[in-house]
């Protein structure tokens, strides 16, 4: 005898008549969706009604704001490697997703957003809670589509998942009218494997690979920089094999963090405005620069007119739009990072660039002596962001998933967290979305329930989406929240200190009693400001079975260095304010 749950789980082999709303849920189940983040409303109510019968197969997480849903879906996607899914109703529900969609687009995060819409007969009439979400989201989605007939649902959803996950991943939005949800269709689902005129991945040109290999083999000072493309293509092992064969020093972008173990001897750290000293200055000293799965963002390059002008540039990238967009290349290889590195590895020679690597290590020591020592073993009484971050990763054997918000908390975590597992770093990169951290941490915990998830967030950023404490409480989700509280919008304050003569214009911020607020949601917490109390409090947080909030009151004018000033050259990476 076949149970109802078995019928739900197994997609029909022959067409079966059902409502559009049931077809929508069955389509998601057929794609392997196990978690949905969302908020119900009138225009999506039929889909929520159908979801009622699928509780054994799909976990729905009721967020407190639609922005929380999209950021949670991002966190889920980033740690799980799956497509994140979120629901919202029409009008304000749909428009509340826009920031997260834009964030997912620029950070190449695979998301499928499903929004309800007014009935098709009311489209364009300014009906109650109608908004043109297709027009609004078109510039910030990889694809979007409006369903007005139930028969369109299976094919549209299949295309949505294929497009979101293939090639360079990104967000897709499906808007579905209410009458399409109520209407009937003969449902049969087939996954999408190909779309005419859509080429998600190009075949790797072996002649160009040979040209790249020749440059690498002849190089005296080769340098490899990589981004999130390594993680998205699952190329971590290929990257490791390549650098260990060639002996080339490497550094990552902000989103590439965790693709390579932090303590690998060839891992020189992070590039960028607040990246490590050696990776920045050595960019303008290498003779061959190999860039893989990254897009030469302005936060990495600084002034492009002075960036790596002495080097032959090899760029391995899946998205043709990124080739020669910012930095002109000598060899541009279109293709998937995993496949391209694997082929390139057969062509390069086994080498050790000992003297060149030592130059990195000398620069690394310079940063250690002037910056890192002061951040990790400070002599002044106030707590630093760096020591808080490093303690947390030490206490979790570098195995925790680290999530951040945006600002000083983000840069401190990027610099001082340590990783030995892939897909254990979640942050907002290209868009720099404050408020991202708390809901993204929720999603990360659902995506990797077996891992410890620690969020670092500022006192400003957490107040943008602090209502998601309600979601964490309702789900009893064991997310560990560390608020680095300096009573300022810290990164803006740092710029005001360094470049605006300490004119702190509207960056001082008053916060609630975060511990009492957490307790109001049923979440235990503590606040520390003294160094002797930090480790016991951190251990209590990590050992807590459920969620926990730890407020750490840090030095008010604690700055993040090194720093490449905006528009400056990476050769002038400042180790302190005295170098301005």
pLDDT tens for the chain, residues 1 to 580? 344 444 555 667 789 999 999 999 999 999 999 999 999 999 999 999 999 999 888 999 999 999 999 999 999 999 999 999 999 999 999 999 999 999 999 999 999 999 999 999 999 999 999 999 999 999 999 999 999 999 999 999 999 999 999 999 999 999 999 999 999 999 999 999 999 999 999 999 999 999 999 999 999 999 999 999 999 999 999 999 999 999 999 999 999 999 999 999 999 999 999 999 999 999 999 999 999 999 999 999 999 999 999 999 999 999 999 999 999 999 999 999 999 999 999 999 999 999 999 999 999 999 999 999 999 998 889 999 999 999 999 999 999 999 999 999 999 999 999 999 999 999 999 999 999 999 999 999 999 999 999 999 999 999 999 999 999 999 999 999 999 999 999 999 999 999 999 999 999 999 999 999 999 999 999 999 999 999 999 999 999 999 999 999 999 989 999 999 988 999 999 999 988 8
Pair of tokens at residue 27: 């389509």
Tell the CATH superfamily of the 16-187 domain: Thiamin diphosphate (ThDP)-binding fold, Pyr/PP domains (3.40.50.970)
Pair of tokens at residue 165: 């996950």
Token pair 């695979």 is at which residue?
110
Q: What's the CATH architecture for 206-359?
A: 3-Layer(aba) Sandwich (3.40)
Domains 16-187 and 381-554 share a fold: yes
Report pLDDT for 56.
84
Catalytic residue list = 66, 128-129, 178, 491
Distance of CA 444 to the CA centre of its chain: 10
State which H helix or E strand residue 116 sits in: strand 111-117
Token pair 């009573």 is at which residue?
487
Angle between helices 20-30 and 153-165 (to 10 degrees): 30
Report pLDDT for 4.
47
Report pLDDT for 9.
54
Which pTM was predicted? 0.96
Q: Which fold has domain 381-554?
A: Rossmann fold (3.40.50)
**Omega before 562 within 30 of 0, i.e. cis:** yes
Helical spans, DSSP H, in 152-287: 153-165, 178-182, 206-218, 229-233, 236-246, 277-281
182: helix, coil or strand?
A: helix
Phi, psi of 572, deg, nearest 5 = -105, 75
28: helix, coil or strand?
A: helix
Beta bridge mates, 112: 85, 172
Write the CA distances from 254 to 264, 300, 327, 462, 506, integer angstroms.
17, 9, 18, 21, 28
Domain ranges of the chain: 16-187, 206-359, 381-554
> What torsion do the CA atoms of 92, 410, 274, 565 make, to the nearest 10 degrees?
40
From the list 418, 417, 408, the residue with the least C-alpha distance to 389 is 417
Measured over the CA atoms of residue 263, residue 230, residue 453 and residue 268, the dihedral's sign is positive
Query: Cα(189)–Cα(16) distance, rounded to whole angstroms?
Result: 10
Beta bridge mates, 332: 315
From the list 357, 332, 354, the residue with the least C-alpha distance to 215 is 332
From the list 263, 269, 254, the residue with the least C-alpha distance to 224 is 269
């Amino acid at each position: 005898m076949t149970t109802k749950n078995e019928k739900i789980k197994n997609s029909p082999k022959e067409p079966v008549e059902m409502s559009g709303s049931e077809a929508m849920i069955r389509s998601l189940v057929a794609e392997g969706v196990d978690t949905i983040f969302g908020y119900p409303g009138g225009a999506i109510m039929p889909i929520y009604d159908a979801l009622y019968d699928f509780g054994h197969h799909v976990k729905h997480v009721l967020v407190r704001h639609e922005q929380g849903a999209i950021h949670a879906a991002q966190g889920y996607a980033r740690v799980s490697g799956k497509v994140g899914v979120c629901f919202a109703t029409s009008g304000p529900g749909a428009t509340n997703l826009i920031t997260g969609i834009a964030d997912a687009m620029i950070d190449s995060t695979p998301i499928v957003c499903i929004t309800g819409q007014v009935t098709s007969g009311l489209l364009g009439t300014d009906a109650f809670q109608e908004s043109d979400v297709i027009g609004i989201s078109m510039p910030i989605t990889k694809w979007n589509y409006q369903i007005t007939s139930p028969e369109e649902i299976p094919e549209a959803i299949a295309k949505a998942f294929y497009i979101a996950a293939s090639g360079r991943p990104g967000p897709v939005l499906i808007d579905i009218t209410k009458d399409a949800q109520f209407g009937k269709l003969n449902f049969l689902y087939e996954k999408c494997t190909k779309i005419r005129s859509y080429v998600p991945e190009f075949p790797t040109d072996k002649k160009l690979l040979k040209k790249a290999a020749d440059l690498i083999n002849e190089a005296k000072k080769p340098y490899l920089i990589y981004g999130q493309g390594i993680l998205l293509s699952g190329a971590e092992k290929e990257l490791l094999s390549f650098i260990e064969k060639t002996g080339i020093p490497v550094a990552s972008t902000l989103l590439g963090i965790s693709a390579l173990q932090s303590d690998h001897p060839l891992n020189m750290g992070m590039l960028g405005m607040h990246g490590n000293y050696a990776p920045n200055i050595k960019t303008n000293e290498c003779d061959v620069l190999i860039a893989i799965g990254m897009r030469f963002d302005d936060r990495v390059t600084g002034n492009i007119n002075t960036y790596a002008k002495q080097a032959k540039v090899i760029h391995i990238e899946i998205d043709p739009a990124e080739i020669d967009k910012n930095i002109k290349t000598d060899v541009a290889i279109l293709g998937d990072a995993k496949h391209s590195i694997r082929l390139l590895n057969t062509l390069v020679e086994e080498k050790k660039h000992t003297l060149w690597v030592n130059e990195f290590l000398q620069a690394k020591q310079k940063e250690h002596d002037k910056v890192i020592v002061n951040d990790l073993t400070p002599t002044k009484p106030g707590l630093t962001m760096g020591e808080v971050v490093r303690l947390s990763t030490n206490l979790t054997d570098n195995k925790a998933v680290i999530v951040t918000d945006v600002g000083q908390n983000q840069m401190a975590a990027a610099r001082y967290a340590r990783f030995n597992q892939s897909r254990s770093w979640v942050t907002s990169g290209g868009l720099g979305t404050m408020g991202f951290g708390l809901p993204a941490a929720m999603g990360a915990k659902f995506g990797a329930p077996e891992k410890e998830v620690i969020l670092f967030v500022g006192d400003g950023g957490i107040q943008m989406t602090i209502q998601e404490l309600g979601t964490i409480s309702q789900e009893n989700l064991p997310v560990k929240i560390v608020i680095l509280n300096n009573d300022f919008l810290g990164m803006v304050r740092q710029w005001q200190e360094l470049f605006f003569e300490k004119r702190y214009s509207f960056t001082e911020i008053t916060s609630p009693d975060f511990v009492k607020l957490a307790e109001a949601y049923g979440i235990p917490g503590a606040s520390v400001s003294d160094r002797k109390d930090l480790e016991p409090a951190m251990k209590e947080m990590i050992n807590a079975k459920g969620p926990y909030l730890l407020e750490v009151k840090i030095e008010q004018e604690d700055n993040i260095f090194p720093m490449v000033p905006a528009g400056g050259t990476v050769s002038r990476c400042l180790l302190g304010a005295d170098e301005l």
